[in-house]
Amino acid sequence: MAEHDVVEVIATKRDRGTLTTGQIDWVIDAYTRGEVADEQMSALAMAILLNGMDRAEISAWTAAMIASGERLDFSGLSRATTDKHSTGGVGDKITLPLAPLVAACGVAVPQLSGRGLGHTGGTLDKLESIPGWRAALSNDELRAQLDEVGAAVCAAGDGLAPADRKLYALRDVTGTVEAIPLIASSIMSKKIAEGTGALVLDVKVGSGAFMKDADRARELAEVMVGLGTDAGVRTVALLTDMSTPLGHTAGNALEVAESVDVLAGGGPADVVELTLALAREMLAAAGHDAVDPADKLVDGSAMDAWRRMIRAQGGDPEAPLPTARESHVVTAERDGVLTRLDALSVGTAAWRLGAGRARKEDPVQAGAGVRWHARPGDRVAVGDPLFTLSTDTPERFDRALAALEDGYTVSAPGTAYAAPPLVIDRVS
Ligand code: URA
């Protein structure tokens, strides 16, 4: 690889120039090896945040991050592969029912996931509330599980896009997380390296999401769909609402229980709607759209796939889930209609109760979280329970209650409420 001068690379982007593929390959490789220093990469990341990158630059940046590590290959598997990635939301437990549901429809789901940070929960944290379940799988175990069970949700190993791990940690402390080229290349480098044949992106929009407005979410979706397509992964994106949290629970074991309800043919209507919408997209992207996933929730085959998926990773799907030691109920102070339930407030409350972590090495509480008893549009009477807060550490209640204080509105009885659409747009 030809050597470049790092200051010249930074200055090119600072002066709104276009980086060459050679410069990008070199700077990512040199940064991963420690030859380019953190302060130099910070300056480049800030120049990218301020001046952007064109499609060719973003593709090259993504390819260089993929090339920094291993790339899994499931092409020899007995079934096609398809995956989903959510940009993160509150109460977003969709992966849990979705992966076994799609497996029950005949397509394999290799879902390499992360842990939660901040107010959005992580899929691995949720699954780890199941007694015995372990997140780590070797590549051979992952492949065998995909062949035998059809779905695996596990921790992304250190070998996958190591350049992204280093760069993401740097962006986190340098105010450069928000750059769309850097977000898109970060997410897509990991998903492409994971080796899935098809990918559906759930790009969340609203207070509880990374992207607060639909225009920026659409731009991110378009860039990510372009990157997937350029890399030979059939990719589509749904823009979905995250102004209101999904379902009725936010918290690790609470969300597992709600997901099991969906797999048993029940569960909250919005969780079922989004699970089915994403399952249909995943199956279509894998060229396997003759099966209706709704049937697999009714006939029990999605639940069977869930049990096999949990057992394959040491978990006991029949074991009681952990519950928190203490709870506190918030009741309605007036009769009326719940017209607003703010995702960020609920997510922050669940996080403060111990369901999430502030630093990546912090432990999480399996039973902590929030259950909301009403959703926007529901009538409530004075004294009705609105929220149940749960934690093992009751000194956390005050700060969680403070987060919820302005997080909901009970309007006068009879107030009309029109729910916004859950699926806002589709980008392909
Ligand atoms: N998630 C990622 O993996 N990377 C980002 O840059 C943002 C969210």
Of 12-16, 90-94, 158-162, 372-376, give the lowest mean pLDDT range: 158-162
pLDDT over 80 (residue 371): yes
pLDDT over 80 (residue 360): no
Catalytic residue among 59, 68, 185, 186: 186
Range list of H helices, 194-326: 214-230, 252-263, 269-285, 293-298, 301-312
User: Kind and range of the H or E element at 326?
Assistant: strand 326-331
What's the whole-number mean pLDDT along residues 119-142? 93
pLDDT interval class at 367 (50, 70, 90): very high
Residue 186 a catalytic site member: yes
Q: Is 183 in the pocket of ligand 1 (CB under 6 A)?
A: yes
pLDDT over 80 (residue 120): no
Q: pLDDT digits over 28-68, tens only?
A: 999 999 999 999 999 999 999 999 999 999 999 999 999 99
Q: How many C-beta atoms lie closer than 10 Å to residue 300's C-beta? A: 13
Name the maximum alpha-carbon separation found in the chain. 71
Residue 406 a catalytic site member: no
Three-state SS annotation for 138-164: CHHHHHHHHHHCCEEEEECCCCCCHHH
Quote the ligand 1 centre to 187 CA distance (angstroms): 5
pLDDT over 90 (residue 114): no
Catalytic residue among 83, 92, 125, 164: 164
What's the whole-number mean pLDDT along residues 398-409? 98
pLDDT for 426 equals: 98
| Structural domain spans, the chain | 6-52, 82-312, 326-411
Q: pLDDT digits over 206-223, tens only?
A: 999 989 999 999 999 999
pLDDT interval class at 75 (50, 70, 90): confident
Give 319-323's long-range contacts (Cβ < 8 A, gap of 24+): 319/130, 319/131, 319/132, 321/129, 321/130, 321/253, 321/256, 321/257, 321/366, 321/367, 322/129, 322/131, 322/253, 322/366, 322/367, 323/253, 323/367, 323/390
What's the whole-number mean pLDDT along residues 236-250? 98
Q: Residue 22: helix, strand or coil by DSSP?
A: helix
pLDDT over 90 (residue 197): yes
Characterize 349-388 residue by residue with b for buried, 16 or more Cβ atoms within 10 angstroms of its Cβ, and e for exposed: bbbbbbbbbeeeeeebbbbbbbbbbbbbebbbeeebebbb
- Cβ neighbors of 342 (< 8 A, separation 6 or more) are 207, 208, 243, 244, 406, 407, 408
pLDDT for 274 equals: 98
6-52 maps to CATH 3.40.640.10:
no
User: Residue 1: is it exposed, middle or buried by C-beta count within 10 angstroms (0-12/13-18/19+)?
Assistant: exposed
Residue 147 a catalytic site member: no
Instruction: Please identify, in words, the CATH class of the domain defined by 326-411.
Output: alpha beta
Q: What is the CATH number of domain 82-312?
A: 3.40.1030.10
Q: Which residues make beta-bridge pairs with 238?
A: 202, 426
Closest residue CA from atom 5 of ligand 1: 183
Closest residue CA from atom 6 of ligand 1: 183
Give the C-alpha separation, 112 to 152, whole Å: 8
Choose which residue among 92, 120, 168, 176 to substitute to test ligand 1 binding: the one with the highest number of ligand atoms within 8 A of its C-beta: 168
Catalytic residue among 13, 166, 171, 204: 171
Match 């030691």 to its residue by tokens: 325
Quote the ligand 1 centre to 126 CA distance (angstroms): 19
Residue 171 a catalytic site member: yes
Taking the whole predicted model, whether its pTM rises above 0.85 is answered as: yes
pLDDT interval class at 234 (50, 70, 90): very high
Match 């065998």 to its residue by tokens: 144
CA distances from 63 to 25, 86, 158 (A): 8, 21, 17
Q: Which atom of ligand 1 is nearest to the CA of 183?
A: 6
pLDDT over 90 (residue 172): no
Torsion of CA 172, 176, 177, 183, to 10 degrees: -130
Quote the ligand 1 centre to 395 CA distance (angstroms): 32
Taking all residues of the chain, what is their mean pLDDT, rounded to a whole number?
Answer: 96
Residue 375 a catalytic site member: no
